[in-house]
């Protein structure tokens, strides 16, 4: 095979590959997972009771009493952060750990969304933290744990929508460090 014929063939192959690449469009950035699994000290607010934080007589936030978990696996929308020293004490974030059972609430009552919220560890009881969580309402069915069986109708609880629970569970099914549980739903609908 002559050198001219070899170069022509190589040039044709390069041009063909280039056209194919251009036809596919620009390279896409890798898709980042919607959640992050890691091991850390965090606040677990899944069954937390909350109090209103009023600003100009309007409830915009909640203060929720959460349990502190030390050096355990959890999932959140952001990577784990180390415990930080702040003037109020020690700052950690609220994260999620899989649940086994829940009660489904189907009403328009407000509840607290605590995932990734800032929390201050209690100076007198290092197993407890107060987390500042956002107010959520009218986002669809939400859940409470069996120990908060009146959480659908009384007080304010830290919660998540059933759709949020399904999304985080689907993500955890792809992980090997923190696996979800099979759920037991105590009821199908709770007014």
**pLDDT 10s digits, 18-74:** 333 323 333 333 334 589 999 999 999 998 999 999 989 888 899 999 999 999 999
- What are the DSSP E strand ranges found in the chain? 36-44, 49-55, 58-76, 84-86, 89-95, 101-105, 111-113, 118-121, 128-136, 142-144, 156-157, 184-185
pLDDT of residue 23: 32
pLDDT of residue 152: 92
Given pLDDT bands bounded at 50, 70 and 90, which one contains residue 6? very low
pLDDT of residue 55: 86
142 has pLDDT over 90: yes
pLDDT of residue 158: 96
Q: Which residue(s) pair with 185 in the sheet?
A: 102
**Whole-angstrom distance, CA of residue 150 vs CA of residue 8:** 78
41 vs 9 pLDDT, higher one = 41
Given pLDDT bands bounded at 50, 70 and 90, which one contains residue 9? very low
99 has pLDDT over 80: yes
pLDDT of residue 7: 30
């Amino acid at each position: 095979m002559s050198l001219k014929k070899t170069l022509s063939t190589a040039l044709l192959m390069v041009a063909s590959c280039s056209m194919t690449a251009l036809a596919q469009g620009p390279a896409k950035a890798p898709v980042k997972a919607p959640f992050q699994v890691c091991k850390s000290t965090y606040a677990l607010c899944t069954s937390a009771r909350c109090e209103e934080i009023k600003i100009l007589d309007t409830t915009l936030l909640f203060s929720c009493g959460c349990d502190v978990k030390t050096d355990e696996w959890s999932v959140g929308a952001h990577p784990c952060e180390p415990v930080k020293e702040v003037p109020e004490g020690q700052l950690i974030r609220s994260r999620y750990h899989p649940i086994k059972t829940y009660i489904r609430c189907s009403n328009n009552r407000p509840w607290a969304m605590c995932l990734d919220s800032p929390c201050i560890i209690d100076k007198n009881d290092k197993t407890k933290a107060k987390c500042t969580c956002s107010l959520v309402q009218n986002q669809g069915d939400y859940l409470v744990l069996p120990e908060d069986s009146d959480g659908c109708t009384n007080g304010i609880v830290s919660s998540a929508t059933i759709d949020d629970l399904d999304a985080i569970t689907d993500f955890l099914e792809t992980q090997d460090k923190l696996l979800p549980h099979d759920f037991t739903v105590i009821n199908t609908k709770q007014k």
